[in-house]
Amino acid sequence: MQKRKLIIIGSGPAAHTAAIYAARANLAPLLYEGFQAGPAGGQLMTTTEVENYPGFPNGIMGPELMDNFRAQSVRFGTHILTEDVEWVDLSKRPFKIHGSNTEVLAEALIIATGATAKRLDIEGARDGEFWQKGVTACAVCDGAAPIFRGQPLFVIGGGDSAVEEATFLTKYGSKIYIVHRRDELRASKIMAERALKHPKIEVLWNCVIEKVMGDSIVRKVQIKNLQTDQVETRPAGGVFFAIGHQPNTAFLKGQLELNEVGYIRVKNGSMATSLPGVFAAGDVQDPTYRQAVTAAGTGCMAALDAEKWLNHMGIE
Ligand code: NAP
């Protein structure tokens, strides 16, 4: 069976940054770009213009940015396998990585499988309906798009993400409604208070969006009050899911220490996980920042940590 010094699982900014650094350190990394949890390239592949990635003063389209990342890791010698990793065996070294077509051993492993924004199965919000035509799961990525400007916008959720995204959207929308299924926010007090006192933000308590309607883009939402059963239709320019993320860690099957909501735990000040030789980078270990640039930064850290660990172990 083929054995590699370093295998990287993932294809977003964290994975490719790790690959660029590892390839330049002569670790000849093998990178698995899967597609089960979303398109290869990660969450930026479903975004339009990225305006907050440093170095692109005029912005860059998410897929183009990921093409660049990928080209740069290939340029330095990363070998890419386009297949999903189905399971890994981390019980002993070298670790066994089982892809849909291959099985490879790895002395060190970087997991950068990302997280998937949760969505709700609402009529009108599905793929092929208004998903990405006014319905999105990332206000920070998409909120500045022209279709949202000056429009009433609806954020679904009641946690920190919902209040943060609603606050962010006040820069663009005419009015921001937080649609929350309960009568109390889950968000931290300080963030909730900031949002609640913003003149543009209103919370629709005990409410759910039942239907999203429009023509080529979103124009209206149908909202139901769960206490009164009253249903009303309101004009809308956008719907933003902010109901949390699901880290893509199911394939690990309990072999690494995760936090209470499934993110890989890394040691303070490094990207080392609970298992020596296994490192994590990007959103799969980050429930807080979740930005392309922070993912890339942790990808760099994971590669440097892996290189140091391989040297320390005397693995040439
Ligand atoms: P979260 O805390 O899990 O909140 C998810 C929200 O979505 C909850 O209010 C939940 O309602 C609602 N929700 C979940 N499933 C739903 C459904 N099926 N239908 C309708 N509503 C649904 O997720 P999060 O806000 O993304 O935060 C995740 C973690 O990241 C938290 O630890 C948070 O503190 C952290 N975070 C921090 C910051 C920051 O510090 N700047 C920013 C963002 C996130 P219920 O309340 O009724 O359960």
Which atom belonging to ligand 1 lies closest to the Cα atom of 164? Answer: 42
Residue 155 near ligand 1, beta carbon < 6 Å: no
Q: Evaluate: CB of 120 within 6 angstroms of ligand 1.
A: yes
pLDDT at 254 > cutoff 70: yes
SS (H, E, C) 97-108: EEECCCEEEEEE
Which atom of ligand 1 approaches the CA of 244 most closely? 26
pLDDT in tens, 27-46: 999 999 987 667 788 888 86
pLDDT of residue 44: 85
CA of 6 to the centre of ligand 1 (A): 35
CA 71 to chain centre: 21
Distance 306 CA to ligand 1 centre (A): 33
pLDDT tens for 150-163 read 999 999 999 988 99
**Which residue's structure tokens are 């997280």?**
115
Share of the chain above pLDDT 90, in %: 87
Burial label, 136 (beta-carbon count in 10 A; 0-12, 13-18, 19+): buried
pLDDT of residue 141: 80
Q: Of all protein residues, whose CA lies closest to atom 29 belonging to ligand 1?
A: 287
Q: What is the pLDDT at residue 171?
A: 96
Q: How far is the CA of 163 from the centre of ligand 1 (A)?
A: 9
- Over residues 95-118, the mean pLDDT reads 96
What is the overall mean pLDDT for the chain? 95
Residue 88 CA to residue 130 CA, distance in Å, equals 37
**The two three-digit tokens of residue 29, written as one number:** 């990394």
d(CA 155, CA 167): 10
Task: Give the per-residue pLDDT at 47.
Answer: 67
Per-residue pLDDT, averaged over 240-248, amounts to 93
Q: Is 127 a catalytic residue?
A: no
Residue 207 known to be catalytic: no
**The model's pTM:** 0.78
DSSP letter string, 108-153: EEEE---EEE-----BT-STTTTBTTTEES-HHHHTTSGGGTTSEE
Q: Is the pLDDT of residue 56 over 80?
A: yes
Which stretch of DSSP H or E encloses residue 196?
helix 189-196
What is the rounded distance in angstroms from the CA atom of residue 26 to the CA atom of residue 146? 44
- 109-142 pLDDT, tens digit per residue, is 999 999 988 999 999 999 999 999 999 998 888 8
Residues 271, 281 contacting (CB under 8 angstroms): yes
Integer angstrom CA distances of residue 153 from 41, 70, 176, 187, 232:
28, 34, 5, 19, 16
Of 130, 111, 97, 82, the residue nearest 241 (C-alpha): 130
Sign, Cα dihedral of 69, 70, 73, 76: negative
The answer to whether residue 316 scores a pLDDT higher than 70 is: yes
The Å distance, Cα 266 to ligand 1 centre, comes to 22
In the sheet that 238-241 helps form, which strands lie side by side, from edge to edge?
135-136, 238-241, 152-156, 175-179, 201-204
> By alpha-carbon position, which residue is closest to atom 9 of ligand 1?
158
The whole-number average pLDDT for the span 97-116 is 96
- Which domains does the chain carry? 3-116+245-312 (3.50.50.60), 119-241 (3.50.50.60)
SS3 (DSSP) at 235? strand
